[in-house]
Amino acid sequence: MSSAHASTNHSSALEKVCIIGSGNWGSAVAKIVGGNVTHHEGFDQKVNMWVFEEQFEGQPLTQIINARHENVKYLPGIRLPSNVHAEPDLARAARDASLLIFVLPHQFIAGACRTLKEHRTIRPGAKAISLVKGLAADETSSGSGPCLVSSLITKSLNGIDVSVLSGANIANEIAEEKFSETTIGYRNRRNGELFYQLFNTPYFQVNIVNDPCGVELCGALKNIVAIGAGMVDGLGLGENTKAAIIRIGLMEMMKFAKQFDSTVRDDTFFESCGIADVITTCAGGRNRRVGEAFVRTGKSFEELEREMLNGQKLQGTSTCQDVCDYLSQRNRGPEFPLFMTIHDICFRGLAPENITKFNRRQTNSKI
């Protein structure tokens, strides 16, 4: 038995779900998953949700969630199913879990994996799915640079199989049961189908594809494009310019993804995780909003995140930094002029007006 998966008591044949994260998306997902475990056979009906504990109006957030069945800080106004239990101790939340849903800002994944590994409470043969849109730092290999969050989870938890879920999924809209689609990328088809059962609803339609790296990279990279779209809005350049940024951004996403992992497939970019997510995030996401405010106010991203997001986290700036460092180290920056321009506006003091002043032809090369 792998040490990471040693367990105290795992006699039940029922799949037991643990949601690792409870932010805006984590809470919306808790509503879906909490409902689906009661509609399908084979699942333990209690769903634990790990909450990074904090005080809200003088009370621990977990106590409020468990008493009111609402995440008053990160998803106010939405009732969570009463079978979702908020738990501040990660090792306890994951005790005997066979299905782990990772839905944390990417910077907190490594820490969560360390705790899970150290406490060894998950069930042998457990499976995971990552809903994280970002890249991780590759701490476990000899090389440096970004790696897929799913790879980090697999390496940290002794080879656990990790599927990914990503799509045009603004959390608040899904929590209000407005129709949307999403994409699950699987390595093991049976696991992909199991997660389909856990997530699919009439208002949240899942498509499963055998391109986990493509699905995951789409989710991470579109946040860079969304910051660029926000800059366009901040400059008041209009919809044609924004469409151009979306198109060029999608091309650079595709080129980067295929260079990063040669298994990535073109058709994945036509799934919800691809073009649809770029459109939705460039219209209504947090990265777009903060990108716009960056141009309008001249404040730093850290300041704007604190002022505008009430504890929610921006994923696009650090992903942009990681991706552009990776490209620069390999002398490939010139092939990605939009990504590099967004990077230089964010981190090098380049004037935002430069968002349209780059050599577009370079984007088209070597796709």
Ligand X SMILES: O=C(CO)COP(=O)(O)O
Ligand Y SMILES: NC(=O)C1=CN([C@@H]2O[C@H](COP(=O)(O)OP(=O)(O)OC[C@H]3O[C@@H](n4cnc5c(N)ncnc54)[C@H](O)[C@@H]3O)[C@@H](O)[C@H]2O)C=CC1
Assess 74 for contact with ligand Y (CB under 6 A). yes
**What backbone torsions phi and psi does residue 169 show, to the nearest 5 degrees?**
-135, 75
Decide if residue 171 touches ligand Y (CB under 6 A): yes
Which single residue brings its beta carbon nearest to ligand X?
A: 285
227 binds ligand X (CB under 6 A): no
The one among 48, 281, 319, 341 contacting ligand X by CB under 6 A: 281
Angle between helices 149-156 and 109-119 (to 10 degrees): 20
| Residue 281 touches which member of ligand Y, ligand X, none, C-beta under 5-8 Å by kind | ligand X
Q: Binds 280, which of ligand Y, ligand X, none (CB < 5 to 8 A, cut-off by type)? A: ligand X
Ranges within 195-224 binding ligand X (CB under 6 A): 223
State which of residues 287, 318, 356, 363 lies at the interface with ligand X (CB under 6 A): 287
Burial 36-73 (b: 16+ CB within 10 A, else e): bbeeeeebbeebbbbbbeeebeeeebbebbbeebebbb
CB atoms near residue 129 (< 10 Å): 27
The nearest distance, CB 288 to ligand Y, in angstroms, is 12
189 is in an annotated binding site: no
Choose among 150, 147, 319: nearest CA to 222.
319
> Which of the listed partners (ligand X, ligand Y, none) does 81 bind, with a CB threshold of 5 to 8 Å by partner kind?
none
**149 near ligand X, judged by CB under 6 A:** no
By the rule CB under 6 A, 312 interacts with ligand Y: yes
Active site annotation includes 222: yes
Q: How far is the CB of 47 from ligand Y (least distance, A)?
A: 16
What is the identity of the amino acid at 50? W
**Please, what sign has the CA dihedral across residues 64, 68, 70, 76?**
negative
Question: How wide is the angle at C-alpha 157 spanned by C-alphas 155 and 159, nearest 5°?
Answer: 60
182 binds ligand X (CB under 6 A): no
CA distances from 65 to 27, 28, 31, 173 (A): 10, 13, 12, 20
Among ligand Y, ligand X, none, what does residue 22 contact (CB within 5–8 Å per kind)? ligand Y
Q: Using CB under 6 A, which residues numbered 70 to 109 contact ligand X?
A: none
Residue 256 annotated in ligand binding = no
Give the pair of three-digit tokens for residue 257: 């993804």
> Was 21 annotated as part of a binding site?
yes
Identify which of 39, 41, 37 has the alpha carbon closest to the alpha carbon of residue 17. 37
**Nearest distance in Å: CB 269, ligand Y:** 17
Residue pair 131/183 in contact (Cβ under 8 Å)? The answer is: no
Min CB(312)–ligand Y separation in Å: 3
Backbone φ and ψ of 297, nearest 5°: -105, -25
Least spacing, CB of residue 52 vs ligand Y, in Å: 3
Site stretch for ligand Y (CB under 6 A), options 203-211, 226-234, 293-301, 310-318: 310-318
**Under rule CB under 6 A, how many of the chain's residues touch ligand X?**
13
Q: Is 347 annotated as a binding residue?
A: no
Q: Annotated binding site for substrate: which residue ranges?
A: 133, 286-287
Q: Annotated binding site for NAD(+): which residue ranges?
A: 21-26, 52, 108, 171, 286, 313, 315
Which residues form the catalytic set?
222
Residues that bind ligand X (CB under 6 A): 133, 168-170, 223, 226, 277, 280-281, 285-287, 315
Residues that bind ligand Y (CB under 6 A): 21-26, 52, 74, 103-106, 108, 131-134, 169-171, 311-313, 315
